């Protein structure tokens, strides 16, 4: 048995405890939360300076794009970014695999225990079967014309099967409202089965999305027309969020929401990726619009971020919101675990095995720019 104590314990399923104690067994399972360190003899205690909280959940990542770190141009907007991502195929399998391995190691070091990960390929599958981290794999489809929908779905179902055969959670998911025709949304719905709990979609990442759907014009429309895209994309939808009405599923995680307004943020779950938003669009969401109990956080990929660290994302959210530390840590851990269905992660609840992070160099109960993270379990 281990008895861990720090200046504060943030169990996340209950209020923070000053000088509280976390009791865990050899496997890291939570055995008990003790209200104060005085209840345990000093010789049994492990003392830490800082705060202890459960492992983080990175609710939106593209691990397979890790080799594109530093290869895209910052601040050029979403269309330039998507065009840049096409370079992904100019690398050897070995370069891709090395980058995936390093990126996963970085997440582990940064206290991440679970990941919602977008997959267009099976490049990450070997790494994931090592079971170093928990993954929910979202098999992502694009389709801007009606011509190739059958083959897109056949490939997606095959990829989902490859992941599932290796005991990885996998669900087919649309890329974004502007990149998926209504018939493909329908096909995603038709192919859902009982193993699918959640769909994710990139949403409101750029102002151009609103321009396309609300005004039927702008750079996105020009770009789509160059691709001979079906007009149904913008003609059948009057705002970007309309695309999810075409999905018959209960749980949807909307990712980014940088340009969302209050009406867009009602019934769903939300993921924010602040550093990627700053990188691509140089913008952040209005955090006062979110219900913080439905908000989680992701790093996006190393193609649009210089690190895979939830703590670094929290620093940006804290500077741009009124969320207190307990709320920030729920966004970083508990909410993502709930949304992604990682039942034994997300809080220091007895019986769970959520990992243990130490955050050091705080200013009282505020994260500082130089606060850092040490993974204890």
Measured from the CB atom, is 9 or 295 closer to Zn ion? 295
In angstroms, give the least distance from the CB of 11 to Zn ion. Answer: 30
Measured from the CB atom, is 265 or 276 closer to Zn ion? 276
Paired with 169 in beta bridges are 136
In angstroms, give the least distance from the CB of 334 to Zn ion. Answer: 22
CB neighbour list of residue 226: distance below 8 Å, 6 or more residues apart: none
Measured from the CB atom, is 64 or 264 closer to Zn ion? 64
Q: What is the CA radius of gyration of the chain?
A: 21
Measured from the CB atom, is 280 or 325 closer to Zn ion? 280
E strands, 100-259, are 112-119, 134-141, 169-174, 199-203, 252-256
- Residue nearest to Zn ion according to CB distances in the complex: 300
In order of 7, 32, 147, 210, 222, the CA distances from 183 in angstroms are: 54, 51, 10, 21, 21
In angstroms, give the least distance from the CB of 230 to Zn ion. Answer: 23
Contacting Zn ion within 293-312 (CB under 5 A): 300
**What does DSSP say about strands 356-360 and 199-203: parallel, antiparallel, or unpaired?**
unpaired
Measured from the CB atom, is 264 or 300 closer to Zn ion? 300
The answer to whether 318 and 297 have CB atoms below 8 angstroms apart is no
The answer to whether 284 and 273 have CB atoms below 8 angstroms apart is no
In angstroms, give the least distance from the CB of 370 to Zn ion. Answer: 28
Tell me the site size for Zn ion, rule CB under 5 A: 1
In angstroms, give the least distance from the CB of 176 to Zn ion. Answer: 9
Measured from the CB atom, is 300 or 313 closer to Zn ion? 300
In angstroms, give the least distance from the CB of 118 to Zn ion. Answer: 6
In angstroms, give the least distance from the CB of 173 to Zn ion. Answer: 11
Measured from the CB atom, is 16 or 336 closer to Zn ion? 336
In angstroms, give the least distance from the CB of 200 to Zn ion. Answer: 9
Instruction: With both helix axes pointing from N to C terminus, report the angle between 207-215 and 219-226 in degrees, rounded to the nearest 10.
Output: 80
CB neighbour list of residue 246: distance below 8 Å, 6 or more residues apart: 182, 185, 186, 189
Contacting Zn ion within 261-300 (CB under 5 A): 300
Give the residue among 330, 275, 331, 282 at the shortest CA–CA distance from 300.
Answer: 275
Contacting Zn ion within 227-246 (CB under 5 A): none
Neighbour tally for 153: CB within 10 Å: 18
∠ at Cα 27 (21, 32), nearest 5°?
30
CB neighbour list of residue 303: distance below 8 Å, 6 or more residues apart: 62, 65, 68, 69, 71, 72, 81, 84, 85
Measured from the CB atom, is 309 or 326 closer to Zn ion? 309
Residues of this chain that interact with Zn ion (CB under 5 A) are 300
């Amino acid at each position: 048995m281990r008895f861990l104590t720090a200046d504060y314990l943030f169990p996340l399923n209950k209020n923070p405890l000053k000088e509280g104690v976390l009791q865990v067994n050899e496997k890291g399972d939570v055995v008990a939360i003790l209200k104060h360190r005085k209840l345990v003899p000093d010789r049994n205690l492990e003392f830490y300076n800082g705060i202890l909280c459960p492992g983080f959940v990175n609710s939106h990542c593209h691990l397979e794009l890790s080799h594109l770190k530093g290869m895209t141009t910052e601040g050029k907007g979403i269309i330039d970014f998507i065009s840049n991502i096409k370079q992904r195929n100019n690398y050897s399998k070995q370069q891709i695999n090395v980058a995936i391995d390093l990126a996963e190691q970085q997440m582990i070091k940064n206290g991440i225990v679970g990941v919602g990960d977008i997959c267009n390929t099976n490049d990450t599958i070997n790494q994931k079967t090592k079971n170093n981290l928990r993954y929910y794999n979202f098999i992502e489809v694009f389709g801007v014309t009606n011509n190739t929908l059958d083959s897109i779905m056949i490939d997606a179902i095959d990829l989902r099967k490859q992941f599932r055969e290796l005991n990885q959670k996998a669900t087919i998911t649309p890329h974004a409202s502007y990149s998926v025709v209504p018939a493909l949304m329908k096909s995603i719905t038709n192919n859902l089965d009982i193993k699918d709990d959640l769909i994710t979609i990139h949403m409101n990442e750029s102002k151009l999305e609103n321009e396309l759907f609300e005004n039927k014009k702008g750079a996105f429309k020009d770009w789509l027309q160059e691709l001979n895209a079906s007009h149904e994309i913008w003609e059948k939808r009057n705002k970007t969020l309309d695309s999810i009405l075409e999905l018959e599923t209960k749980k949807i995680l909307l990712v980014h929401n940088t340009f969302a307004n209050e009406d867009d943020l009602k019934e769903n779950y939300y993921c924010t990726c602040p550093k990627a938003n700053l990188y691509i669009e140089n913008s952040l969401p209005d955090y006062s619009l979110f219900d913080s109990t439905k908000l989680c956080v992701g790093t996006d990929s190393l193609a649009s971020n210089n690190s895979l660290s939830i703590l670094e994302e929290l620093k940006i959210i804290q500077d741009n919101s009124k969320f207190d530390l307990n709320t920030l840590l729920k966004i970083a851990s508990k909410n993502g675990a709930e949304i992604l269905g990682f039942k034994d992660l997300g809080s220091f609840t007895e019986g769970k095995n959520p990992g243990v992070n130490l955050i050091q160099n705080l200013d009282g109960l505020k994260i500082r720019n130089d606060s850092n993270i040490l993974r204890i379990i």
